[in-house]
């Protein structure tokens, strides 16, 4: 992990940006009991006094079926940390015993009081036509949960799906002009 130090007198600035479109969430660990659990690719940066580690699960279901949501990082300490969410981010306050079921890849992070497990969606229709996957995360309160609308793996998949095909041909998906755009760009291969 890269560390930035100020060896000069007086304050200096350093800036960080998100790796892809989305939101950056500031987390004050001292206000959250010193621990926050987040998606493995959500961590962006943290101040001195924050340690970053791996959150191991004692539940077998998470290890076998967790997919994107299985490997979690834990941020511990008393400083500020910053995590990144792809697309739009939503915050949900769960009461004791309240449950939220969400796609595993859409979890940004949650506070230490939240119980987290993986469940099978079930049903023959979901198994055959599900598309996104057969498992979801079950988060049970009390605590705070942050979710995202566009995990990086799905963003990358969508970018690849819209990239030109072998031979330089683009399917023109999402374009009003379709193949006419290729002609205007000088690519007049049909």
What digits encode the pLDDT tens for the residues 41-93? 889 999 988 999 988 765 545 445 444 445 789 999 999 999 999 888 999 99
Computed over every residue of the chain, the mean pLDDT equals 78
Of the candidate ranges 16-25, 30-39, 111-120, 165-174, the one whose mean pLDDT is the lowest: 165-174
Residue 103 has pLDDT above 80, yes or no: yes
Which CATH fold topology does 22-163 show? Double-stranded beta-helix (3.60.160)
123-173: pLDDT as tens digits: 555 555 555 556 788 999 999 999 998 776 666 666 777 777 665 555 555
110-127: pLDDT as tens digits: 999 999 888 776 655 555
Q: Label residue 22 by pLDDT band (50, 70, 90).
A: confident
Domain boundaries, the chain: 22-163
Torsion, Cα 144 149 152 153, to 10 degrees, reads: 110
* Spatial contact of 1 and 44, defined as CB atoms under 8 Å apart: no
Predicted local distance difference test score (pLDDT) of residue 137:
86
């Amino acid at each position: 992990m890269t560390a930035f130090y100020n060896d000069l007198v007086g304050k200096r600035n350093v800036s960080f940006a998100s790796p892809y479109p989305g939101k950056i969430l500031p987390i004050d660990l001292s206000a959250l009991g010193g621990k926050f659990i987040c998606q493995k690719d959500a961590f962006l940066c943290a101040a001195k006094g924050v340690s970053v580690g791996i959150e191991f699960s004692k539940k077998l279901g998470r290890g076998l079926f967790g997919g994107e949501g299985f490997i979690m990082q834990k941020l511990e300490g008393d400083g500020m940390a910053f995590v990144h969410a792809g697309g739009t981010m939503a915050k949900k306050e769960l009461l004791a015993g309240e449950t939220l079921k969400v796609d595993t890849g859409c979890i940004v992070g949650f506070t230490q009081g939240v119980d987290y497990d993986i469940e099978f969606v079930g049903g023959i229709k979901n198994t055959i036509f599900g598309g996104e996957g057969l498992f979801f995360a079950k988060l049970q309160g009390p605590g705070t949960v942050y979710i995202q609308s566009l995990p990086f793996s799905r963003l990358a998949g969508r970018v690849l799906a819209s990239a030109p095909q072998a031979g330089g041909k683009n399917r023109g998906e999402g374009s009003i002009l379709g193949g006419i755009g290729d002609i205007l760009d000088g690519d007049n291969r049909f």
